[in-house]
Amino acid sequence: MSFRNNPTKSTLSRIYFIDSKIASGCYPNTKSLAREYETSTATISRDIEFMRNMLNAPIEYCASHRGFYYSRETYRLPAGFAESDDIQALAYAKTLLSIYEKTPIYTSVKKILTLISPIPDYASLDTRIIAPTPATYPINTDLWELIVSGLKENRILVFDYQSEWKKPFERRLVHPYQLVFDNGAWYLLGYAEERKGVRTFSLSRIKNIALTSTRFQLPDSWDYRSIHGNSFFGVFAGSESFHFKLKFLSEFALWVTERKWANDQQVTELPDGILLEFTSTQYGKVIEFLLSKGSYAYPLEPPQLVKDWEWHVKEMNTHISV
């Protein structure tokens, strides 16, 4: 199907950009639009022709201002080009975007969403539908761009990394596989040459990063979701799989059963709560989850988890002031 009848998504974002500039009343012309969007004047001319002929946009050219304007001042492209549900969904997307406010992608993505969903009818929802921002940290733009370049070009990254508090930074050579967002933080999943295995790196602990000229071949299985996608406790996982059996008292039973923790989870109702069973490689995250529920949850299997949980409980007990 031709462009005239089925514009691509990249074309749509450009068309919405043109619509926004014309509606602003600044009388843009093909040269100014092409320069600002960083494309050719021929491309802009084709877009304007499409908007006029296929979308019935009332675009006129003003000789005195040497630019385009809408002959109907109240005209906006989304009103005649997108379904109301689509525009409403974009308004929701702008709200949900607040989760990523501390990342370099936030400003540019918000700008695009603002351009293509300007209908004021949905502006009132900005404060009625919200996504509370989790605890997070700002991401250095240069760091982000170098990692993204490594992902795009399959090039090895070299950087200094601090694995634990007060430990010295260590030099790492990493094949970047994936950027993963988890609970307010960004992580780099990649093959660490020094460790000879796939590791997860917190972006906040990386410094002195550089992009090498050495390229690498992506393995057949590199996606985090395909490697550790059978349970859903966050970004960290191990290589060994465990069968977990956790007991939750009635105070947390409903909350636990409302969620899917693993693909093979089984829930058994008990007189005083529930029993949750599943398999997972996320041993460390499971024990964090269990401890976060305090006295309302405890483990039954595997034996190592029971032992570790008991140790943590005893250690916490030593900090109680009598």
- Asked whether the predicted pLDDT for residue 55 surpasses 60, the reply is yes
Sign, Cα dihedral of 309, 264, 243, 269: positive
- Asked whether the predicted pLDDT for residue 176 surpasses 50, the reply is yes
136 domain residue, yes or no: no
Q: What is the mean pLDDT of residues 168-175?
A: 96
Residues 92-140 have pLDDT tens digits of 776 777 777 777 777 777 766 665 555 555 555 667 777 777 888 888 8
Residues 235-292 have pLDDT tens digits of 888 888 999 999 999 999 999 999 999 999 999 999 999 999 999 999 999 999 999 9
Domain that holds residue 245: 230-318
Q: Looking at the structure, do residues 182 and 236 belong to the same domain, yes or no?
A: no
3 domain residue, yes or no: no
The per-residue pLDDT for 169 is 96
Lookup: tokens for 179: 């950027």
**Rounded to two decimals, what is the model's pTM?**
0.68
132 domain residue, yes or no: no
- Asked whether the predicted pLDDT for residue 64 surpasses 90, the reply is yes
133 domain residue, yes or no: no
135 domain residue, yes or no: no
The per-residue pLDDT for 79 is 46
Structure-token match 């009103």, residue found: 79
The per-residue pLDDT for 117 is 54
181 domain residue, yes or no: yes
The CATH number that applies at residue 75 is 1.10.10
The residue from 200, 225, 250 where one domain ends is 225
293 domain residue, yes or no: yes
Q: Looking at the structure, do residues 159 and 89 belong to the same domain, yes or no?
A: no
The CATH number that applies at residue 251 is 3.30.70
Q: Which residues, other chains included, contact 27 with Cβ-Cβ below 8 Å and sequence gap of 6+?
A: 62, 65, 66, 67, 68, 69
The per-residue pLDDT for 290 is 95
Q: Looking at the structure, do residues 188 and 153 belong to the same domain, yes or no?
A: yes
Distance of alpha carbon 53 from alpha carbon 59, whole angstroms: 10
Q: How far is CA 18 from CA 2, 76, 117, 118, 314, in A?
A: 21, 11, 13, 13, 64
CB-based burial, 81-118: b 16+ in 10 Å, e otherwise = bbeeeebbebbeebbebebbeebbeeeeebeebebbbb
Q: Looking at the structure, do residues 164 and 197 belong to the same domain, yes or no?
A: yes
210 domain residue, yes or no: yes
Higher pLDDT, residue 221 or 206: 206
